[in-house]
Amino acid sequence: MNAPLGLVPAPDLAALTAALGSLAAAFDIRWVEECTSTNSALLDAPPGNDGRVHVLVATRQSAGRGRRGRQWLAWPGASLTFSVLWRFAPGMPVPAGLSLAVGLALARALEKLGLDAVTLKWPNDVLARGAKLSGILVEVLPERGGALTAVIGIGLNLRLPADAAIPGQGGGVTDLAHELGEVPARETLLAAILSELYPMLNAYGSTGFGLLREAWEQRNAFANLPVRVSGEGSDLSGLCLGVDEEGALLVRAPEGTHRVYAGDVSVRLAP
C-alpha cells in the first residue's frame, strides 16, 4: 500500500520555524521520514523535560494508531501525522475534556486557513461538511510526582487516494484537497495548528474545559440531533444535548439525561 519514500519532499524546517515566529522557541520539533507511530514513539521514549514542548512529526507511519484499536492508514503524502508531548502542572485533574480542547484548537487553525463548516464530533473528530477530516488520539503517560503527561496525536487528511477505503466512518471522510482546493504546505499547516494548540493547552491546564465549553458547543456536529452511543457496556440512544463542564457528552434518553465520558465509545447519528 505504501509507495517508496521520496515522493514526499523533505520538510523545510526553516520555513516551519519562520511560520511559528516567536512561538518557535517553545517547541522542540523532530521530523522523521518514517516511524511506526508518533504516539508510540513518544510514549515509549519520552524526551526529558527541558521546558519545551516536544513534537514528533513523521512523513510516514508504518503502524499509525487510531481510537478503539483502529489503524490510522498511511498513503504517501496523504496526511499530516504528528504527536505533541504536553506536561501538565502537578495536581491537574484527569483530562476528560482534553481531546475536546485539542479538537477546538484544530478547528480554529483550520478556520483561520479558510475552511468553512468545521464541526466537532465528540469526543475527538474534526469534520468538514460532516465528513471526517482529522482524528485525535490522546494517551496519558503514567504519572510521576502527581504530574500528568499527555501524548496528543493528530492525523489530518491532506490528499487521500481516490479509492481510499477507511472503515468505520459513518459520515464519510474528506481531505484538505477537497475542502480547500489547494493543500497548504505541511509546514504551514503544522505551524498553524501548533500556534492554536499551545495557548489552548495552557488555558486547559489552568482552568480546565469549562471556559472552552461554549466554543466547543458552537461547533458540535450533533447538537440537538438523535445519537447512538456504543462501546463500553450497553448502547444508548437519545438526543445530544451537548457537553458538560468536564467535557462529558450529555444525552437525553427517555429515562433521563446520561453523562458519557470519553472512554472506548463511539457516537453516531441515530438512524
Cite the active site residues. Answer: 67, 132, 268
List the grid coordinates of 160.
Answer: 487521500
Q: Do 214 and 100 contact (CB within 8 A), yes or no?
A: no
- Contact flag: residue 64 with ligand BTN (CB under 6 A): yes
Terminal-residue alpha carbon distance, the chain: 34
- Contact flag: residue 155 with ligand BTN (CB under 6 A): yes
Render 243-267 in DSSP notation, one character per residue.
E-TTS-EEEEETTEEEEE-SSS-EE
C-alpha distances out from residue 262 to 62, 73, 164, 217, 244, Å? 27, 23, 28, 16, 12
Q: Which of 77-85, 101-109, 111-119, 175-183 is the region at the interface with ligand BTN (rule: CB under 6 A)?
A: 77-85
For residues 95 and 238, which CB has a smaller minimum distance to ligand BTN in the complex? 95
Of 11, 20, 60, 67, the one binding ligand BTN (CB under 6 A) is: 67
- Contact flag: residue 65 with ligand BTN (CB under 6 A): yes
> How many CA atoms lie within 13 Å of 261's alpha carbon, on the beta-carbon side?
5
Of 11, 27, 39, 247, the one binding ligand BTN (CB under 6 A) is: 39
Task: Calculate the CA 6 to chain-centre distance.
Answer: 27
- What part of residues 78-107 is at the interface with ligand BTN (CB under 6 A)? 81-83
For residues 31 and 238, which CB has a smaller minimum distance to ligand BTN in the complex? 31
- Contact flag: residue 38 with ligand BTN (CB under 6 A): yes
Give me the least distance between CB of 256 and ligand BTN, in Å please: 30
- Contact flag: residue 66 with ligand BTN (CB under 6 A): yes
Q: Which of 33-41, 186-194, 204-212, 252-260 is the region at the interface with ligand BTN (rule: CB under 6 A)?
A: 33-41
Give me the least distance between CB of 118 and ligand BTN, in Å please: 16
Q: Which of 62-70, 159-167, 218-226, 262-270 is the region at the interface with ligand BTN (rule: CB under 6 A)?
A: 62-70
For residues 41 and 251, which CB has a smaller minimum distance to ligand BTN in the complex? 41
- The values of phi and psi at residue 252, to 5°, are -90, 115
- Contact flag: residue 123 with ligand BTN (CB under 6 A): no
Helical spans, DSSP H, in the chain = 13-20, 38-44, 98-112, 176-180, 186-207, 213-218
For residues 72 and 88, which CB has a smaller minimum distance to ligand BTN in the complex? 72
Q: Which of 242, 249, 250 is nearest to 263 (CA)?
A: 249
- The values of phi and psi at residue 74, to 5°, are -120, 130
What distance in Å separates the CA atoms of residue 26 and residue 42, rounded to the nearest whole number? Answer: 18
For residues 138 and 148, which CB has a smaller minimum distance to ligand BTN in the complex? 138
The answer to whether the peptide bond before residue 47 is cis (omega within 30 degrees of 0) is no
List the grid coordinates of 135.
Answer: 482524528
- Contact flag: residue 136 with ligand BTN (CB under 6 A): yes
Q: Binding residues for ligand BTN, per CB under 6 A? A: 37-39, 61, 64-67, 70, 72, 81-83, 125, 135-137, 153-155
